[in-house]
């Protein structure tokens, strides 16, 4: 049997696509993303050479095409390939709408028909339940008639909480309810699968976002049984890296913490080593500092603890680090998760570093945060990334949670001795005993000597 894509790989993997004869209902308030989802379903199916008809009473074609292009939904291209047809029907009587539709479908073969939205047609029969049922029945039969997919979009007015369009929810084979909520002033989008005939579903609410170049992007929580357990070993060049980190594998989460009162960048050195030694791409996402500040911190790590010249440090970092900064108070936790996934899919780094993770202690709802974090870490593990999370120890509970969710722990502390401050690094990892490294003169001398091995050979 032919299967129609839902427009999302994630949703396809969950529901197995739609089947010929299915009527799908997309419901939501204005701005929820109904038109975007309907267009995405259309466009994705035209990529499989299905023919789509987009019927509307209100949407302006140019506006629709323009908006969708920015979201990577190239209705214009589908149209020029002859696989997409846009028709705007006049708002007339229900009989005229049915006649017009029958004619259109009789003239051309379509596999997918979208009606965006059905409100207008159904509202013509506001007070006549029997007539409305007739129209509904007509819509329902379109799917059977074309032996394809009917996607009906229904809008819920702002002031209402549910559809009041008769029995349409009962007739539909699938009901996708798009919601957008204001969570502490931040936008958070959810796709709720209200109903799906013939598919057992355990997850009803799927977070999603509307992103440039992609349109609707749904986030599925990874399944634990699929998680990569044992990734390949990663080695550095420096003895310091060996002492602090090894053995370290792809898929590991390393938690690096320091006191909030002295956050020296010495703990960045092993990761710079891993990047350079393995020719890795590193993605560094800071929730606290600007891109420039982060770059400076990395330069400082190299120049302060070794006698590397600044220009050598810059040269060394060049090409290995992609730095981004996000102010986390601008986004809801699911949205931040969405942006992070976007970055990682685009950049495709080997090493992912998060900086300033302590900030969530004071801005996020803990349950939402830990749930999202656990899933984000599982997702990163699944795709074999080495993850490093840098944070201040601002709160014992959050520190312990961060530690317990990681395979490797690096705790930077300080000891005072004869007027000097000496870094002490506690290090533990799965598969080894904990150790404490005092960053004494001997270790620093070794570091100074070995760091040159990382520099590109001088011609
Ligand atoms: N380029 C874009 N990037 C991110 N979000 C976008 C973009 N274009 C539109 N949106 C979002 O999509 C939403 C509109 O979606 P739409 O599918 O028209 O909603 P509906 O049909 O349910 O009213 C808006 O809320 C807007 O925030
Ligand atoms: Mg719309």
Q: Is the pLDDT of residue 102 over 80?
A: yes
CA-closest residue to ligand 1 atom 11 = 210
Query: Which range has highest mean pLDDT (4-18, 61-75, 229-243)?
Result: 61-75
Number of domains in the chain: 2
- What was the pLDDT predicted at 86? 97
Q: Return mean pLDDT, the chain.
A: 90
Check pLDDT > 70 for residue 173: yes
Instruction: Among 211-220, 289-298, 405-414, name the one with the lowest average pLDDT.
Output: 211-220
Protein residue closest via CA to atom 6 of ligand 1: 210
28 within ligand 1 shell (Cβ under 6 A): yes
Query: Which ligand 1 atom is at minimum distance from the Cα of 117?
Result: 21
Q: Which ligand is nearest to the Cα of residue 34, counting in written order?
A: 1
- Confidence (pLDDT) at 113: 97
Residue 168 bridge partners (DSSP): none
The mean per-residue pLDDT over the stretch 422-426 comes to 95
On whether residue 2 sits in a domain, the answer given is: no
Q: Which pLDDT does position 85 carry in this prediction?
A: 97
401 and 256 share a domain? Answer: yes
Same structural domain, 210 and 238: no
CA of 182 to the centre of ligand 1 (A): 15
Q: For residues 422 and 429, what is the distance between their CA atoms, to the nearest angstrom?
A: 23
- Mean pLDDT score, 320-343: 90
- Look at residue 197 in the predicted model and tell me its pLDDT: 77
Is residue 303 over pLDDT 60?
yes
Same domain, yes or no: 336 and 357: yes
Q: What is the mean pLDDT of residues 264-276?
A: 95
pLDDT at site 211: 85
pLDDT > 70 fraction of the chain, expressed in percent and rounded:
95
Pair (287, 176) in one structural domain: no
Q: Ligand 1: which of 116, 181, 209, 210 to mutate, most ligand atoms within 8 Å of CB?
A: 210
For residue 35 and ligand 1, the question of a CB distance below 6 A is answered with: yes
Q: Pick the ligand that lies closest to the CA of residue 32.
A: 1
**Percentage of residues in the chain having pLDDT higher than 90:** 64
29 Cα nearest atom in ligand 1: 22
Please state which of the ranges 262-276, 348-362, 403-417, 444-458 shows the lowest mean pLDDT. Answer: 444-458
Domain span at 84: 9-218
Report yes or no on 3 lying in a domain: no
Question: What's residue 184's pLDDT?
Answer: 64
**Ligand 2 center–CA 29 separation, angstroms:** 9
Q: What is the pLDDT of residue 342?
A: 84
* In a shared domain, residues 129 and 239: no
What pLDDT band is residue 412 in, cutting at 50, 70 and 90?
very high
For 186-221, the DSSP string reads EEEEEEEEEEETT---S--EEEEEEETTTEEEE-PP
Angstrom distance (rounded) from CA 231 to CA 426: 24
pLDDT tier, 123 (very low <50, low <70, confident <90, very high otherwise): confident
The residue whose CA has the least distance to atom 1 of ligand 1 is 212
Ligand that comes closest to the CA of residue 73: 1
In 144-291, the DSSP E strands lie at 149-155, 174-183, 186-196, 205-211, 215-218, 233-234, 248-249, 253-258, 282-286
Residues 57/124, Cβ–Cβ less than 8 Å:
no
Q: What is the CATH number of the domain that holds 341?
A: 3.40.50.300
| pLDDT value of position 228 | 58
Does this model's pTM top 0.85?
A: no
Domain boundary among 195, 218, 241: 218
Whether 259 is in a domain gets the answer yes
For the Cβ of 31 lying below 6 angstroms from any atom of ligand 1, the answer is: yes
Do residues 208 and 259 share a domain?
no
DSSP tag of 4: B
- What is the reported pLDDT for 159? 84
Alpha carbon distance 363, 369 (integer Å): 10
Q: pLDDT tier at 224 (50, 70, 90 boundaries)?
A: low
The pLDDT of residue 223: 63
393 vs 346, higher pLDDT: 393
Do 20 and 142 have their domain in common? Answer: yes
Q: Are residues 211 and 303 in the same domain?
A: no
Q: What is the mean pLDDT of residues 170-176?
A: 88
Mean pLDDT of 302-320: 91
Determine the distance separating the centroid of ligand 1 and the alpha carbon of 211, expressed in angstroms. Answer: 9
Which of 218, 239, 272 terminates a domain? The answer is: 218
248 contact partners, CB below 8 Å, separation of at least 6: 233, 234, 254, 274, 386, 408, 429
Q: Which atom of ligand 1 is nearest to the CA of 70?
A: 1
Query: Would residue 120 count as lying in a domain?
Result: yes
Q: Mean of the pLDDT values across residues 23-42?
A: 96
Instruction: Tell me, using a 6 A CB cutoff, whether residue 212 lines ligand 1.
Output: yes
Of the candidates 218, 239, 257, which is a domain's last residue? Answer: 218
Verify that 204 and 326 share a domain, yes or no: no
């Amino acid at each position: 049997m032919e299967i129609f894509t839902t427009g999302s790989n994630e949703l396809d993997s969950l529901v197995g696509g739609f089947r010929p004869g299915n009527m799908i209902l997309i419901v939501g308030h204005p701005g929820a993303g109904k038109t975007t989802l309907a267009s995405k379903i259309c466009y994705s199916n035209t990529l499989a050479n299905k023919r789509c008809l987009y019927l509307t009473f209100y949407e302006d074609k140019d506006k629709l095409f323009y908006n969708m292009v920015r979201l990577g939904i190239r209705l214009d291209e589908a149209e020029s390939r002859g696989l997409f047809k846009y028709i705007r029907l006049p708002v007339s009587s229900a009989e005229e709408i049915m006649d017009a539709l029958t004619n259109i479908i009789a003239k051309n073969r379509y596999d997918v028909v979208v009606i965006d939205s059905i409100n207008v047609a159904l509202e013509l029969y506001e007070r006549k339940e029997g007539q409305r049922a007739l129209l509904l029945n007509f819509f329902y039969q379109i799917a059977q008639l074309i032996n394809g997919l009917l996607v009906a979009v229904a809008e819920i007015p702002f002031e209402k909480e549910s559809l009041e369009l008769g029995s349409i929810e009962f007739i539909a084979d699938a009901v996708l309810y798009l919601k957008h909520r204001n969570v502490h002033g931040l936008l958070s989008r959810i796709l709720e699968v209200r109903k799906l005939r013939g598919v057992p579903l355990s997850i009803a609410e799927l977070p999603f976002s509307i992103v440039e170049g992609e349109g609707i992007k749904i986030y599925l929580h990874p399944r634990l049984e699929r998680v990569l357990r044992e990734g390949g070993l990663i080695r550095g060049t420096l003895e310091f890296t060996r002492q602090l980190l090894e053995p370290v594998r792809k898929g590991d989460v390393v938690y690096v913490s320091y006191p909030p009162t002295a956050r020296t960048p010495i703990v960045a050195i092993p990761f710079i080593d891993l990047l350079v030694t393995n020719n890795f791409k590193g993605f560094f996402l800071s929730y606290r500092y600007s891109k420039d500040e982060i770059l400076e911190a990395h330069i400082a790590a190299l120049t302060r603890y070794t006698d590397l010249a600044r220009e050598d440090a810059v040269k060394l970092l060049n090409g290995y680090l992609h730095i981004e900064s996000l102010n986390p108070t601008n986004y809801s936790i699911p949205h931040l998760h969405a942006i992070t996934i976007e970055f990682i899919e685009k950049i495709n780094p080997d090493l992912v570093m998060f900086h300033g993770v302590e900030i969530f202690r004071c801005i996020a709802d803990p349950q939402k945060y830990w749930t999202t974090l656990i899933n984000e870490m599982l997702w990163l593990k699944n795709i074999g990334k080495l993850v490093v999370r840098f944070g201040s120890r601002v709160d014992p509970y959050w520190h312990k949670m961060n530690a317990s969710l990681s395979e490797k722990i690096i705790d930077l502390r300080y000891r005072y001795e004869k007027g000097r401050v000496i870094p002490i690094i506690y290090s533990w990892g799965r598969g080894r005993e904990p150790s404490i490294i005092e960053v004494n003169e001997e270790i620093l001398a070794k570091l100074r000597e070995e760091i040159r091995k990382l520099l590109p050979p001088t011609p």
